[in-house]
């Protein structure tokens, strides 16, 4: 059996949502770039790097959703791709190191199995 898996950020969407919220509501581009360099060098894991970035995000879920919906788009062909996989009876799963609530914000209506990081939004950081 064939199983199709897809990433979310920058694959289904036009922008990486972790990059977006970190730069818009968090420590900014310079900090995020430093964290990415630490991931690449092996100083921190991808999981820890994402934690470091999201801990700096100081926005309510409502604020973030408003701007995410305004500035991030789903690839216009993605729903056609989902329909094609269903017509061919090919299971499609989203595997993402992104944030489950954000993935669901954009793809939840499709009912696809999705694996992504849990997210807790607090005033102290995400």
Residue 114, SS3?
Answer: strand
Cα dihedral 111, 116, 122, 73 in deg (nearest 10): -60
On the question of pLDDT at 1 being above 90, the answer is: no
For residue 72, pLDDT beyond 90: yes
Domains of the chain, by residue range, sit at 4-117
- Average pLDDT of the chain, as a whole number: 95
- Mean per-residue pLDDT for 12-38? 96
Tell me the pTM: 0.90
> Which CATH class name applies to 4-117?
alpha beta
Q: What is the pLDDT of residues 88-105, one digit of tens each?
A: 999 999 999 999 999 999
State the pLDDT at residue 70: 96
């Amino acid at each position: 059996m064939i199983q199709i898996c897809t990433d979310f950020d920058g694959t289904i969407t036009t922008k990486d949502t972790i990059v977006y919220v970190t730069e818009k509501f968090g420590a900014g581009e310079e900090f995020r770039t430093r964290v990415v360099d630490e991931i690449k060098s092996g100083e921190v894991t991808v999981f820890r790097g994402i934690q470091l970035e999201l801990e700096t995000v100081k926005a309510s879920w409502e604020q973030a959703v408003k701007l995410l919906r305004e500035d991030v788009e789903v690839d216009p062909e993605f729903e056609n791709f989902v329909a094609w996989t269903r017509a061919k009876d090919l299971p499609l799963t989203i595997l993402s190191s992104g944030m489950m609530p954000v993935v669901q914000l954009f793809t939840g209506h499709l009912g696809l199995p999705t694996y992504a990081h849990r997210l807790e939004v607090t005033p102290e950081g995400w």
